Chain A
Amino acid sequence: MLVSYNWLKDYLDVTVDPADLAETITRTGIEIETLEHPQEGLKKIVVGHVLSLKNHEDSDHLRVAQVDVGEEEPYQIVCGAPNIAEDQYVIVALPNSRIAGNEKIKKGKLRGVVSQGMICGLQEIGFSDSVVPEEVKDGIYVFEDAIAPGTEVYEALGMDDYILDFDITPNRADTLSMEGAAYEVGAILSQNPNLKIPEVSEDSQSFDSQVKVSLDLDESAVSNYRLRYLTDVNIAKSPLWMQTRLMNAGTRPVNNVVDALQYAMIEMGQPLAAFDADKIEGDLQVRFAKSGETIQLKDQDPIELGTEDIVIADNQKILALGGVVTSTAAEVDEKTTSLVLQSAIYDGALVRKSAQRHGVRTDSSARFEKGINWDNTQKAIDYLAQLIAENGQAKVLAGTKVIRDTQKSPVVIDITTARINHVLGTELSTADIIAIFERLQFGVVAEGDTLSVSVPARRFDISIDADLVEEVARLYGYDNLPTVLPVVEQTIGGYDRQQQALNKARDLLVGFGLDETINYSLTTHDKAISFVKEAKDVIALDWPMTKEHEVLRQNLVSGLLDSAVYNAARKQTDLRLFEQGRVFSQENGQNQEVDHIAGLYAGQNRPNNWQNDVKNFDFYEVKGQVEAFLKAMGFTKATSYVAEPIKGMHPTRTAAIYYGDQYVGFVGQIDPRELPKTKLKEVYAFELDMETLLSIDVEPTVSKEAPKYPAIKRDLSLLVDEAITNSQITSVIDENGGKHLRDVQVFDVYSGDKLEVGKQSIAYQLTFQDFAQTLKDDSVNKAIEAITQALTSELNISVR
Chain B
Amino acid sequence: MSVFDHIQTLKDQGLTQIKEANDLDTLNNIRVNLTGKKGELTKVLRSMKDLSNEERPKVGQVVNEVRDLFATEIDNKKEQLQQAELEAQMQKEAIDVTLPGKESYLGSHHLINIVRQDIEEFCVSLGYQVITGPEVESDHYNFEMMNIPKNHPARDMQDTFYVDATHEHLMRSQTSPVQARTLEKHDFSKSPLKMISPGKVYRRDDDDATHSHQFNQLEGLVIDENITMAHLKGTLQAIAQHVFGEDREIRLRPSYFPFTEPSVEVDVTCFACGGKGCSTCKSTGWIEVLGAGMVHPNVLENAGVDSQKYGGFAFGLGLDRFAILKYGVSDIRDFYLNDVRFLEQFRQEAK
Contacts and interface: CB of A to CB of B under 8 A. Distances in A.
Contacts of B161: 522, 541-544
Contact of B336 (A423, A478, A520): A520
Interface string A581-596: 1101000000101000
Interface string A555-571: 00000000100110010
A349 interface: yes
Contacts of B127: 490-493
Instruction: Give the most central of A352, A516, A543: most B CB within 10 Å.
Output: A516
Contacts of A28: 254
Contacts of A620: none
Contacts of A570: 339, 341
Contact of A567 (B128, B311, B340): B340
A321 B213 CA distance: 35
Contacts of B191: 489, 491
A718 interface: no
A690 B173 CA distance: 25
Interface in B86-131: 99-100, 102-110, 112-113, 117, 120, 123-131
Given A489-B191, A492-B127, A521-B202, A516 B109 contact: yes
Contacts of A479: 251-252
B130 A425 contact: no
Contact of A575 (B130, B253, B340): B340
A9 interface: no
B287 to A, nearest CB: 14
A96 interface: no
Interface string B147-158: 000010110010
A611 B102 contact: yes
Contacts of B123: 493
Given A484-B230, A549-B213, A521 B340 contact: no
Nearest to A560: B338
Contacts of A582: 135, 200
A494 B126 CA distance: 10
Given A425-B228, A426-B230, A545-B204, A552 B136 contact: yes
A519 interface: yes
B344 interface: yes
Given A493-B126, A513-B104, A606-B105, A422 B226 contact: yes
Contacts of A171: 256
Nearest to B166: A542
A515 B108 contact: yes
Interface stretch (B8-16, B65-73, B231-239, B268-276): B231-239
Interface residues of A, number: 88
Given A478-B252, A516-B108, A582-B135, A469 B338 contact: no
Contacts of B265: 31
A616 interface: no
A491 B294 CA distance: 20
Given A425-B229, A503-B117, A29 B254 contact: yes
Contacts of A606: 102-105
Nearest to B251: A479
A577 B340 contact: yes
Nearest to A543: B162
Nearest to B106: A513
Contacts of A488: 192, 194, 222, 224, 226-227
Contact of B165 (A424, A542, A607): A542
A516 B343 contact: yes
B229 A423 contact: yes
A575 to B, nearest CB: 6
A265 B191 CA distance: 53
Nearest to B130: A495
B341 A572 contact: yes
B107 A591 contact: no
Given A470-B262, A542-B162, A514 B107 contact: yes
Contacts of B228: 422-425, 486
Contacts of A543: 161-162
Contacts of B256: 169-172
Interface stretch (A139-147, A191-199, A504-512): A504-512
B169 interface: yes
A700 B341 CA distance: 41
B136 A483 contact: no
Contacts of B344: 515
Contacts of B51: none
Contacts of B132: 499
Contacts of A489: 191-192, 224
B296 interface: yes
B227 to A, nearest CB: 6
11 contacts: A30-B254, A466-B262, A478-B252, A484-B230, A489-B191, A493-B123, A495-B120, A496-B129, A506-B113, A541-B162, A563-B337
Interface of A: 26-31, 169-172, 349, 352, 369-370, 422-426, 464, 466-467, 469-470, 473-474, 478-479, 481-486, 488-496, 499, 503, 506, 509-522, 539-545, 549, 552, 563, 566-567, 570, 572, 575-577, 581-582, 584, 591, 593, 606-607, 609-611, 613
Q: Which 4 residue pairs are nearest across A and B when measured between Cβ atoms?
A: A425-B230, A425-B228, A513-B105, A169-B256
